[in-house]
Amino acid sequence: MTPAPRKQRMIFVGVMVVGVAAAVALALLAIGENMLYFFSPTQIKNGEAPQGRTLRVGGLVVPGSVAREAGSLAVHFELTDNRESLPVRYSGILPDLFREGQGIVASGALDPDGLFVAAEVLAKHDENYMPPEVAEALELAKEGGNMPMPHGVLKE
């Protein structure tokens, strides 16, 4: 083999390694940026959740709290972990299994008044199914504990 192709090959291997490393770095960066943390209503009441950042909350829909604004698709309801409750506003069509007393997860952001403005509401397709985060949050609220929380997501 002549030296030139070998050199080319080394360059090629180098480019590949750099490329893969870049992809890994990109992936880790993206995963850091796009992680959505889950908070329970109690944690939000305690001020643990950052404002204005996209996050997920979950709990049971408080019976009797669901109200539609007349003439629009905006809907208000409250979520509870049986200790604290959180007012939520959502505009649009609720999923099939959204109903009072049901465990749901919503993603969105907190506004300055402590209202959670949901961009998406999820209720899984099984009336017996409880979102695992919600189940755990309820359990912990009952025991008076707190959800485990990664470092560095405290108030900003």
Partner 1 sequence: MIPEIGHFALILALVMAIAQATFPLAGALARVPAWSRVVVPAARAQFAFNLLAFGCLTWAFVAQDFSVTYVAQNSNSLLPVLYRISAVWGAHEGSLLLWSLTLSIWTLAVSLFSGSLPEAFRVRVLAVMGAISVGFFLFMLGTSNPFERLIPAAIEGKDLNPLLQDPGLILHPPMLYMGYVGLAVPFSFAIAALIDGRLDPAWTRWTRPWTVIAWVFLTLGITLGSWWAYYELGWGGWWFWDPVENASFMPWLVATALIHSLAVSEQRGAFKAWTVLLAIFAFSLSLLGTFLVRSGVLVSVHAFASDPARGVFILAFLAFVTGSGLALYAWRAHALSGGGRFEFLSRETLLLVNNVLLVVASASVLLGTLYPLLLDAAGIGKISVGPPYFNKVFVPLMLPLLAVLGIGPLTRWKQDKTRRIFVRLRAPLIASVVIGIGFAMATNTQGLVEVIAGVSFALWVTITTLLGVKDRLGRGVASVAGLFRLPRSFAGMTIAHLGAAVAVVGVTLTSSMSTEKDLRFAPGESHELAGFEFRFLGVQEFPGANYTAERGLVEVSRNGNVITQLFPEKRLYVNAQSPMTEAAIDPGLTRDLYVALGEDVGDGAWAIRVYHKPFIRWIWLGGLLMGLGGLLAVTDRRYRIVVRRKQRASLPDLDAGTLAEG
Would you call 40 exposed, middle or buried from its count of C-beta atoms within 10 A (0-12, 13-18, 19+)? buried
CB of 1 to partner 1, least distance (A): 8
Contacts from 118-122 at CB under 8 Å and sequence distance 24+? 118/88, 118/89, 118/90, 119/54, 121/90, 121/94, 121/95, 122/95
125 binds partner 1 (CB under 8 A): yes
The upper half-sphere exposure of residue 95, i.e. CA atoms within 13 Å in the direction of its Cβ, equals: 16
- Of residues 83 and 129, the one with the C-beta less far from partner 1: 129
92 binds partner 1 (CB under 8 A): yes
- The total number of residues written for the chain in this structure: 156
Select from 101, 112, 113, 126 the one that contacts partner 1 (CB under 8 A).
126
136 binds partner 1 (CB under 8 A): yes
Q: From 106, 110, 115, select the one nearest 134 (Cα to Cα).
A: 106
Per-residue binding string, partner 1, 51-90, x by CB under 8 A, is -----x-----------x-xxxx-----------------
Interface with partner 1 by CB under 8 A: which residues?
1, 5, 8-9, 11-12, 16, 19-20, 23-24, 26-27, 30-31, 33-38, 56, 68, 70-73, 91-94, 96-97, 125-127, 129, 132-133, 135-136, 147-150, 153
